[in-house]
């Protein structure tokens, strides 16, 4: 028998199994938003139609969606402010959707339910995320007594997949989660390039391919968390990459429950000098627009993420075991 053993230093292990996000999770100090006066900041772009829309039109569409995905950059406080505003508007209109959060792992659901019932703070259950950014959303869910669902896959559950692939999943899981049904070469090429870029090129081919598998499994798991709540409607709080229609959660929702009414909103940071909407998130995998609507926002000031990467991250080679 051969198996893979991770004997890397703790810092490298953290790089291996960092949350599979396409954006930074670093905390941003208050008052550090940039490009507040950018001509696109605050505007909403209908990607498929290629035109700007107003907030009233966006909220009308949100009211018709069974699955509303609010795709954030995790450390941008403006994105969380807008998520809260959209959720509050839905509640004010009489909707009582389930709030599904990537920031809680699905093995925590019982603990979340117990803590909410007892009126306890959920901060201790939020692993590796900035609680201050998500507290208002949780508080709104509590005050309105809507369901709060832990939607993410625990990091430990992705490790076997990163090392050894989907063969480590329980029998029938690949089919049940539609992991193969939604995928093709174009999506594989896109996701491979994205993982390489997000790791600043400092990732071995073996690890890169494992991380692609783990990203796919997370998207499928996030979609799975919504299926029993779609009749009442769901609002997803999740990273922008997960919200993409062409490679993310909506692909799995459509495969598992065809015809589900989905609205994907990508909160996208503006960039200096980029004033045309088509300059942003314009790659369409399989001819599918990545989002229904892009909501442009100021960008958060953050250090260069590539400074955190040193030597190429790789999985150790297989070694024999007794």
* Residue 148 token pair: 């709060």
Residue 24, CA distances (Å) to 197, 198, 232, 276 in order? 13, 9, 32, 24
* Distance in angstroms between the alpha carbons of the first and the last residue of the chain: 8
Give the angle subtended at the CA of 44 by the CAs of 230 and 99, to the nearest 5°. 25
* Helical pair 155-164 and 205-224, crossing angle rounded to 10 deg: 140
Whole-number pLDDT of residue 4: 33
Whole-number pLDDT of residue 158: 96
CA 179, 180, 183, 185 torsion: positive or negative? positive
User: Cα–Cα distance between 268 and 281 in angstroms, integer?
Assistant: 8
| pLDDT tens series, the chain, 322 aa | 333 333 333 333 333 333 333 333 444 444 589 999 999 999 999 999 999 999 999 999 999 999 999 999 999 999 999 999 999 999 999 999 999 999 999 999 999 999 999 999 999 999 999 999 999 999 999 999 999 999 999 999 999 999 999 999 999 999 999 999 999 999 999 999 999 999 999 999 999 999 999 999 999 999 999 999 999 999 999 999 999 999 999 999 999 999 999 999 999 999 988 999 989 988 899 999 999 999 999 999 998 888 877 666 565 433 323 3
Whole-number pLDDT of residue 288: 95
Whole-number pLDDT of residue 315: 58
* Residue 63 token pair: 């009211």
* Residue 234 token pair: 């769901």
Note the pTM of the prediction, 2 decimals. Answer: 0.88
State the maximum Cα–Cα separation within the chain, in Å, rounded to a whole number.
Answer: 65
Give the angle subtended at the CA of 183 by the CAs of 182 and 184, to the nearest 5°. 135
* Residue 201 token pair: 């090129």
């Amino acid at each position: 028998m051969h198996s893979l053993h991770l004997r890397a230093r703790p810092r490298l292990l953290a790089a291996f199994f960092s949350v599979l996000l396409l954006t930074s999770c670093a905390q941003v100090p208050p008052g550090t938003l940039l490009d507040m006066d950018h001509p696109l900041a605050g505007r909403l772009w209908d990607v498929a139609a290629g035109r700007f829309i107003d907030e009233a039109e966006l909220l009308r569409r949100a009211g018709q969606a069974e699955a509303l995905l609010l795709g954030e950059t995790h450390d941008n406080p403006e994105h969380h402010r807008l998520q809260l505003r959209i959720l509050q508007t839905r509640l004010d209109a009489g909707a009582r959707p389930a709030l599904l959060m990537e920031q809680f792992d699905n093995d925590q659901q019982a603990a979340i339910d117990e803590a909410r019932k007892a009126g306890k703070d959920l901060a201790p259950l939020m692993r590796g995320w900035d609680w201050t950014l998500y507290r208002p959303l949780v508080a709104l869910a509590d005050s309105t007594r809507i369901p709060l669902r832990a939607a993410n896959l625990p990091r430990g559950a992705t490790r076997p997949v990163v090392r050894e692939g989907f063969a480590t999943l329980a029998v029938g899981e690949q089919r049940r989660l539609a992991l193969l049904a939604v995928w093709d070469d174009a999506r594989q090429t896109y996701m491979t390039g994205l993982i390489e870029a997000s790791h600043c090129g400092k990732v071995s081919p073996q690890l890169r391919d494992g991380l692609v598998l783990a990203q796919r499994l997370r998207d499928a798991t996030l979609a799975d968390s919504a299926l029993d709540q779609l009749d009442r409607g769901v609002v997803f709080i999740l990273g922008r990459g997960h919200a993409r229609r062409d490679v993310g959660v909506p692909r799995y929702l459509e495969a598992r429950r065809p015809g589900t009414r989905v609205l994907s909103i990508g909160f996208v940071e503006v960039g200096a000098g980029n004033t045309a909407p088509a300059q942003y998130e314009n790659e369409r995998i399989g001819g599918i627009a990545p989002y229904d609507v892009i909501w442009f926002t100021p960008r958060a000031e953050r250090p260069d993420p590539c400074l955190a990467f040193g030597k190429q991250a790789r999985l150790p080679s297989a070694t024999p075991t007794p």
